[in-house]
Amino acid sequence: MKTEYDYFVIDIEHLKGKKTFPFQLFIFNPSHKKFSMFLNGNRPLTKEHESFLNYILERGGKLAILKNQRKTFLVAQETTAAEIPSLKERELHPLEKERLMNIKLKEMHDEKTGAFSLQSEFELACQTDNFEKVIENARVEILTFSVTISPTVSLALHLAKTHLDKDNYLNRIVAVSYLLAKNCNIVDQDALSDIICGSYFGHIGLTQTPLTIARTPYNQLPEKEKSLFQKHTILGHHLIKKSQINLSERCKKIILEHHERAGGNGYPAMKYGEQIEILSQVVGAVSHLFEYSSGKITGGKQSMKSIIIAMKAKSYLPGLEYDFGEKVFQSIITLINTDKIETKEKENINTEAKKAA
Ligand SMILES: [Fe+2]
């Protein structure tokens, strides 16, 4: 896996008007925040290439060379490292050094554990009531995030480093939200960091309501207390804003919106369909899954398998929600492979789930 440390940036003038090069050219696209191949070695730099390059550079993009082609570049372009500003040695920040070490640790982790499948690991974690492997997988990935993107990414990194190291209720929600977001093709570090911070702070508003409200299963709360519980979204959003924690607006939106539902029956604003940020739907869906399973909604614990079977069939169970938008819903119901479960077993699970609810 290449990182920004594997490249050095050059100016277009350093090409010296030449049209072919014995080294590869890469461009950094600011909208994707990624380096990608621009021109292979010994291929001609055409007018189309030049106009695309100018287009990207005018928008804050960068032209770059792989550090392992540094010597080839300097010889071919008859220049020296002293003439290339990005090649002047600089001391890496301790956080950058730590990140490089974490990238190596992730490579070792991946080699040792092999490919990670959220579906099989989630199913095993539910069966054994042990989410250590799921949490660890999320943690080793998050620790490789760049330290220079934004305060929210840096906070996500900090939270992963200091808190995402044990199997507890909140870390299960954070890790599964992160991994489910990736299953929904959300791969941008900004967005994933919003998910991480949003799921850590999603229920901070409950600190502003009476303790009994958080401790009583939602379905057993009188109507007045239910509406007080629902205020945790607005209270959390307000608390974060007042605290002046430097979180992205999208992350604050997750805190505010994680109970909005695609059909318009959520809260606090009864938003509908695409008015709801998909990241809010991810955190909302995963939180709901763990809340339902742990008894925070009905007062009775239920297996994830039975919840997912009920969600997939859209069966009515008191307090069970599944209106998370099609993309997130499809990801949630495939967290456990229910196809292999026999019809009879599904019926039993459904009957037991209904009794428990
Ligand atoms: Fe909530």
Residue 236 alpha carbon to ligand 1 centre in Å = 10
CATH number at residue 126: 1.10.3210.10
Reply yes or no on whether the pLDDT at 333 is more than 70: yes
Residue 339 lies in a domain: yes
How remote is the CA of residue 232 from the centroid of ligand 1, in Å?
7
Sequence-ordered list of residues with C-beta below 8 angstroms from that of 240, at least 6 positions apart, any chain:
201, 204, 247, 252, 255
If asked whether residues 176 and 28 sit together in one domain, one would say no
Residue 195 has a pLDDT of 98
Question: 333 alpha carbon to ligand 1 midpoint, in Å?
Answer: 20
pLDDT score of 246: 93
Dist. CA 67 → ligand 1 center (Å): 47
Co-location of 217 and 80 in the same domain? no
Residue 136 · residue 230 · CB < 8 Å: no
State the distance from the centre of ligand 1 to the C-alpha of 112, rounded, in angstroms.
36
Whole-number Å distance, alpha carbon 82 to ligand 1 midpoint, is 55
Please give the share of the chain, as a percent, with pLDDT higher than 70.
94
Residue 103 domain-assigned? no
Angle, vertex CA 332, rays to CA 257 and CA 151, nearest 5? 45
pLDDT value at residue 316 = 84
235 CA to middle of ligand 1, Å? 11
Domain end residue (candidates: 26, 52, 87) = 87
- On the 0-12 / 13-18 / 19+ scale of CB atoms within 10 A, 55 is exposed
63 and 192 assigned to the same domain: no
165-193 core/surface letters (b: 16 or more CB in 10 A; e: else): eebeebbbbbbbbbbbbbbbebeebbbbb
**Looking at the predicted structure, is the pLDDT value of residue 356 above 80?**
no
Question: What is the total count of domains within the chain?
Answer: 2
Going from the Cα of 134 to the center of ligand 1, the distance in angstroms, rounded, reads 22
pLDDT attached to residue 87: 86
What tokens appear for 165 in the block?
């190291």
pLDDT, position 338: 79
Alpha-carbon distance of 287 to 199, in angstroms, equals 8
Among 47, 70, 87, give the residue marking a domain's end. 87
If you measure from the C-alpha of residue 334 to the centroid of ligand 1, how many angstroms do you get, rounded to a whole number? Answer: 23
Helices vs strands, H then E, count in the chain: 16, 4
> 146-176 pLDDT, tens per residue?
988 999 999 999 999 999 999 999 999 999 9
Question: Does residue 126 carry a pLDDT above 80?
Answer: yes
Are residues 54 and 8 part of one domain?
yes
Cα separation of 301 and 307, whole Å? 10
Domain for residue 66, yes or no? yes
- Residue 98 within a domain: no
Paired sense of beta strands 25-29 and 7-10, if any:
unpaired
Q: Is residue 100 part of a domain?
A: no
Tell me the CA–centroid distance for residue 92 and ligand 1, in Å. Answer: 40
Whether 81 and 175 map to the same domain: the answer is no
- What mean pLDDT is reported for the chain? 92
pLDDT at residue number 103: 94
174 membership: H or E segment, kind and range: helix 169-183
Read off the pLDDT of residues 219-257 as tens digits, 9 standing for 90 and up: 999 999 999 999 999 999 999 999 989 999 999 999 999
pLDDT tens per residue, range 282-312:
999 999 999 999 999 999 999 999 999 999 9
Give me the domain span that covers residue 244: 114-356
* Together in a domain, 216 and 304: yes
265 alpha carbon to ligand 1 midpoint, in Å?
15
Q: Are 126 and 18 found together in one domain?
A: no
Task: Give the separation between CA 123 and CA 337, rounded to whole angstroms.
Answer: 8
Within-domain flag for 101: no
Residue 238 CA to ligand 1 center (angstroms) comes to 14
**Using CA of residue 205, residue 207, residue 213, residue 218, what is the dihedral sign?**
positive
Report the separation in Å between the CA atom of 118 and the middle of ligand 1, taken as the mean of its atom positions. 24
- Same domain, residue pair 302 and 347: yes
Distance between Cα 124 and ligand 1 center (Å): 26
Q: Is residue 106 part of a domain?
A: no
Q: 347 vs 91, which has greater pLDDT?
A: 91
286 and 139 housed in the same domain: yes
Q: Are residues 154 and 201 in the same domain?
A: yes
347 pLDDT tier (thresholds 50, 70, 90): low
pLDDT at 5: 80
195 lies in the same domain as 120? yes
One-letter amino acid at 335 equals L
Non-local (6+) Cβ contacts of 239 within 8 A are 204, 205, 207, 208
Spatial separation of the C-alpha atoms in residues 118 and 128, rounded to whole Å: 15
CA 278 / ligand 1 centre spacing (Å) = 16
pLDDT digits (tens, 9 = 90+) for 26-70: 999 888 788 999 999 999 999 999 999 999 999 999 999 999 999
- Listed in sequence order, the residues at least 6 apart from 12 whose beta carbon sits closer than 8 Å to its beta carbon are 53, 54, 57, 63
Q: Per residue in 183-199, pLDDT tens?
A: 999 999 999 999 999 99
Domain membership of residue 102 (yes or no) is no
Residue 341 confidence (pLDDT): 67
The DSSP secondary-structure symbol of 206 reads: G
% of the chain with per-residue pLDDT over 90: 81
- Specify whether 135 is located in the same domain as 282: yes
Task: Give, in order, the Cα–Cα distances in Å from 82 to each of 154, 185, 214.
Answer: 32, 42, 62
- 3-class DSSP state for residue 94? helix
